[in-house]
Amino acid sequence: MAKVTLLTDFGSTYTKLTAVDLDSERTVGFARVPTTVRTGLPDGLSDGLSELKKQGVTTIAARLACSSAAGGLKMAVSGLMPELTVEAARRAALGAGAKVWRVYSHELTRADIAELNAAPPDIFLLTGGTDGGNKANILKNAGMLSRHAARPFPVVLAGNRAAADEAADLLRAFSPVVCPNVMPTLGVLAAEPVQAAIRTIFLKHIVRAKGLQDVASELNAPLIPTPSAVLAGMTLLADGTDARPGLGGIAGVDIGGATTDVYSICRGEPSEANITLRGLPEPYAKRTVEGDIGLRFSCRGIVSAAGEADIMRHSGLSAEALQTGLSQRENDPGWLAAAGSDLQLDKTLAYFALAIALRRHAGQLESVYTPLGQTFVQTGKDLRPLRHVLLTGGPLIAWHDAGALLAAALRDSGSSLLPRSPAVLVDRGYRFSALGLLATWQPDIALRMMLKEFSYE
């Protein structure tokens, strides 16, 4: 066997190992083993490697890995105004692959800091004020952190430049990484420098804290958060390479047990001249995470968002049967629905998960009634022209009616700018994160493999 590249995804529940032969551009081995957070992630890895050996994968020429294990990259962000620096900070963190655990606007309170002390974040992103704008807020918050945080945690400072030195001095005990402002002038989102800082801290601190240093030292490229790998893969699939064009604008949905991630790679600007665009500019490669939408641990979040009556009507289950089904899913993340009403409930939950998560990700077109009649205002991205949607994750990818579920979820879009009639791609083999990883290293091969592995519905 020639050049085998090992692509490892340390997930929160499972570690997935994908062995790819770069010459034949085929997957030559796949193993899924439980992630062992307690005894250390590398133990799970060696279990996976022996499994691959049984499949004939013996020599490995290169290694790449991503991780969302042990809670992923847990971040808290703060800024001044909710729709401005706070939103900019939140988007920058999401785009860096973080799990955004807390979002604070205006001034941090002692209760906020108590929350941070009880469960310190992996990284705190402190922003506020445009360059030359408000200084008081970020200084107040830096002071609150330095005075009341029980232990220092990694901090990225990306607020008003005029306050950066003073804020860094206040936070000396945290050794903050000082970055250019995430919103240097009003309405401008400068996410890249912040994201680069987040990646550096992820490597330095997180990898060590989570027992990954040995694994990381053997890799051919830096270990990255799993969502970053997925974003890289999606962007490659949309844009292509010099050698081969991509599919054009695309959206992707990854329905997990606890969260649902939605990705879109497109500009999403208004399609007609009489539509005014409002709000922060959207990132070309955008990621949103719904922490309350998932098919197992977070199944009750779907029910509260969709309404119990609608879930019962759609699944045909009684109130009692629904409660039993939900408890089962909540308590056992690995539980598989075999058939009958169990499968029916999973499909109902998946349908609503798609409908809700896509609506939260997509932009809105509202008609505003003014003294002069009707005008149109768009906020967020217009996904209507997208020609492809990729589905991955959870039990969904095993169902042959996944495409029909998506089509149903896109119906009755109301004011949401959802894809109108996209072709549906399904990641049947669960290769999304592995091929995303490969995209960061061997884009031409990764693109050809994605086009081969993802099947049209």
Partner 1 sequence: MDKKTLVIGVIGADVHAVGIRILDYAFQDAGFNVVNLGVMVSQEEFIAAAVETNADAIVVSSLYGHGELDVRGLRDKCVEAGIGDIPIYIGGNIVVGKQPFDKVEERFLAMGLSRAFPPGSTPETAIEYLKKDLGIGQ
Residues that bind partner 1 (CB under 8 A): 80-85, 129-130, 132-135, 183, 185-187, 276, 278, 368, 370-372, 375, 377
Q: Report CA dihedral (445, 449, 452, 456) to the nearest 10 degrees.
A: -120
Output the smallest distance, CB 122 to partner 1, in A: 27
Cβ proximity to partner 1: between 55 and 375 the closer is 375
Quick check: 70 and 44 in contact, CB under 8 A?
no
Residue 2 Cβ vs partner 1, minimum distance, rounded to whole Å: 56
Please report, in angstroms and rounded to a whole number, the separation of the first and last CA atoms in the chain.
Answer: 33
| Least distance in angstroms from the C-beta of 132 to partner 1 | 7
User: Among 194, 215, 242, 244, which Cα is nearest to 42's?
Assistant: 215
Q: How far is the CB of 83 from partner 1 (least distance, A)?
A: 6
User: CB-wise, 134 or 344, nearer to partner 1?
Assistant: 134
Closest CB to partner 1 among residues 84, 337:
84
Q: Retrieve residue 27's tokens.
A: 């997957």
132 or 291: whose CB is closer to partner 1? 132
Report whether 418 contacts 408 (CB < 8 A).
Answer: no
For partner 1, the closer of residues 134 and 324 by Cβ is 134
Question: What's the rounded Cα separation, in Å, for the pair 301 and 38?
Answer: 28
Nearest to 255 by CA among 147, 391, 140, 382: 391
Minimum CB distance to partner 1 smaller for 28 or for 377: 377
Q: 251, 389 in Cβ contact below 8 A?
A: yes
CA–CA distance, 69 with 212 (Å, rounded to integer): 10
CB closer to partner 1, 56 vs 82: 82
Which is nearer to partner 1, 128 or 227 (by Cβ)? 128
CB of 377 to partner 1, least distance (A): 7
Between residues 183 and 405, which has the closer beta carbon with respect to partner 1? 183
Nearer to partner 1, 338 or 372 (CB): 372
Q: Which H, E and C letters describe 106-175, residue by residue?
A: CCCCHHHHHHHHHCCCCEEEECCCCCCCCCHHHHHHHHHHHHHCCCCCCEEECCCHHHHHHHHHHCHHHC
Min CB(185)–partner 1 separation in Å: 7
Distance (Å) of CA 348 to CA 275, 352, 358: 35, 6, 16
Q: How far is the CB of 101 from partner 1 (least distance, A)?
A: 24
DSSP state of 240: B
CA 247 to chain CA mean position, Å: 21
For residue 54, give Cα distances in angstroms to 8, 49, 57, 59, 161.
17, 9, 7, 12, 56
Q: Are 226 and 11 in contact (CB under 8 A)?
A: yes
Of 48 and 128, which CB lies nearer to partner 1 in the complex structure?
128
**In the structure encoding, which two tokens stand for residue 19, read together?**
């062995």
> Least separation, in Å, of the C-beta of 178 and partner 1?
20
What is the smallest separation between the CB atom of 79 and partner 1, expressed in angstroms?
9
- Nearest distance, CB of residue 57 and partner 1, angstroms: 54
Residue 369 CB, nearest approach to partner 1 (Å): 9
Indicate the residue type of 326. Answer: L
> How far is 18 from 6, CA to CA, in rounded Å?
6
